[in-house]
């Protein structure tokens, strides 16, 4: 386990300087939209919060962090303080595989595909799409979170944004619940799968759903994802713990203890694997952590966009 104080200091410093927890320039993180010909304006604004885009960098950073986490010589050398700062900025960007970045971009493109097929009229303005600061909130750096949230909210309000569509549970929770409370900013916030209007015929395939904590419990949205899948003809199987009582994938522990994250992920995979069905989730952190624990997991966006082809 790394020293929380050191990890928080690094992340908070990165967020303050670059608006990103890993200190990587946004131009290197957020390029998926360039091939999508997205309108800038619409009934609502798509705000990704950059979580899907950041996961490839999280994957790389945590692989390195895990290597040194319990090193025997860590008590003799200050490695536990030495490693984390190296895992930021351009260095991290350079060692992160392009394939992982392409995969993350693919999920966002699939979300756009599903929204377009549903006739959603949304705009996208990359300069307004910022990281929400949720990791600082979860780690208890309230001052750092509030300062960042106010910066992000001021930009959105300055651009006249009132309605937002989100793609991941962490950003959705931040914008919908935390920003009104701490950043004096209230928007109408909807997760992308709440307003889909798709249909298809996939009778016969049952999916095993892993509800992310923020969607299943904090935002009580587990019914909406099942409805979107049900409209395409899929049946959904619930794991032993699901919906309001869903069990965590372990991902939130990654910045402090990758090994703890892996242990919790493995337990969750075991619980999800019981039905033998394809596991589906709708959070980039869950996706990454469950995959790392050995599961074959599909993002909801892949299922929705794939369902359209044969609809």
Partner 1 sequence: MSAVNPAFLDELEAYGENAGALCFNCGTCAAVCPLDGGHFPRKMIRYAQIGAVDRIREESRELWRCLHCGLCTQTCPRGANPGEVILTLKRLFAAEWRKS
Which residues bind to partner 1, rule: CB under 8 A? 1, 3-5, 8-9, 138-144, 213, 217-218, 241, 244-248, 250-253, 256-257, 260, 263-264, 267-268
CB atoms within 10 A of CB 309: 8
Q: In the bound complex, what is the minimum distance in angstroms from residue 114's beta carbon to partner 1?
A: 27
**Cβ nearer to partner 1, comparing 120 with 176:** 176
C-beta closer to partner 1: residue 253 or 304: 253
Cα torsion angle, 48, 190, 215, 305, sign:
negative
Nearer to partner 1, 246 or 302 (CB): 246
CB of 9 to partner 1, least distance (A): 7
Compare residues 260 and 311 and give the one whose CB is closer to partner 1.
260
Question: Least distance to partner 1 from the beta carbon of 178, Å?
Answer: 12
Spatial contact of 282 and 212, defined as CB atoms under 8 Å apart: yes
Pick 129 or 141: Cβ nearer partner 1: 141
CA–CA gap between residue 240 and residue 160 (Å, rounded): 44
Nearer to partner 1, 188 or 220 (CB): 220
Rounded to a whole number of angstroms, the minimum distance from the CB of residue 38 to partner 1 is 33
| Shortest spacing between CB 46 and partner 1, in angstroms | 26
180 near 287, Cβ under 8 Å? Answer: no
Distances (CA, A) of 146 to 27, 254, 255: 24, 22, 20
Output the smallest distance, CB 32 to partner 1, in A.
Answer: 28
Answer yes or no: are the C-beta atoms of 270 and 288 closer than 8 Å: no
CB 261 within 8 A of CB 59: no
Q: What are phi and psi of 136, to 5 degrees?
A: -65, -40
Rounded to the nearest 5 degrees, what angle is found at the Cα of 287, between the Cα atoms of 281 and 293?
120
| Residues sharing a CB contact under 8 Å with residue 57, sequence separation 6 or more, in sequence order | 22, 24, 29, 92, 93, 96
């Amino acid at each position: 386990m790394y020293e929380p104080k050191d990890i928080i200091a690094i992340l908070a410093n990165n967020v303050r300087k670059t608006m990103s927890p890993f200190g990587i320039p946004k131009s290197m993180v957020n390029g998926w939209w360039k091939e999508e010909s997205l309108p800038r304006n619409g009934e609502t604004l798509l705000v990704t919060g950059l979580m899907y885009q950041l996961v490839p960098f999280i994957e790389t950073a945590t692989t390195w962090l895990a290597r040194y986490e319990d090193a025997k010589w860590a008590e003799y050398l200050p490695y536990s303080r030495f490693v984390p700062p190296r895992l930021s900025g351009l260095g991290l960007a350079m060692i992160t595989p392009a394939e992982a970045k392409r995969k993350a971009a693919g999920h966002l493109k699939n979300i756009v595909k599903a929204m377009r097929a549903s006739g959603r009229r949304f705009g996208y303005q990359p300069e307004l799409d910022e990281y929400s600061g949720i990791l600082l909130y979860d780690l208890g750096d309230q001052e750092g979170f509030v300062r960042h949230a106010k910066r992000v909210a001021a930009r959105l309000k300055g651009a006249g944004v009132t309605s937002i569509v989100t793609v991941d549970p962490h950003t959705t929770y931040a914008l919908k619940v935390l920003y009104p409370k701490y950043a004096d900013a209230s928007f109408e916030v909807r997760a992308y799968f709440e307003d889909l209007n798709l249909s298809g015929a996939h009778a016969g395939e049952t999916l095993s759903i892993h509800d992310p904590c923020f969607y299943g419990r904090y935002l009580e949205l587990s019914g909406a994802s099942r409805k979107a899948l049900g409209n395409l003809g899929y049946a959904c199987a619930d794991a032993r713990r699901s919906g309001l009582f869903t069990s965590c994938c372990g991902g939130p522990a990654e910045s402090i203890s990758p090994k703890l994250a892996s242990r919790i992920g493995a337990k969750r995979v075991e619980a999800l694997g019981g039905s033998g069905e394809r596991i589906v989730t709708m959070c980039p952190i869950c996706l990454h952590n469950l995959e790392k624990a050995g599961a074959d997991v599909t993002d909801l966006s892949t299922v929705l966009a794939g369902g359209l082809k044969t609809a």
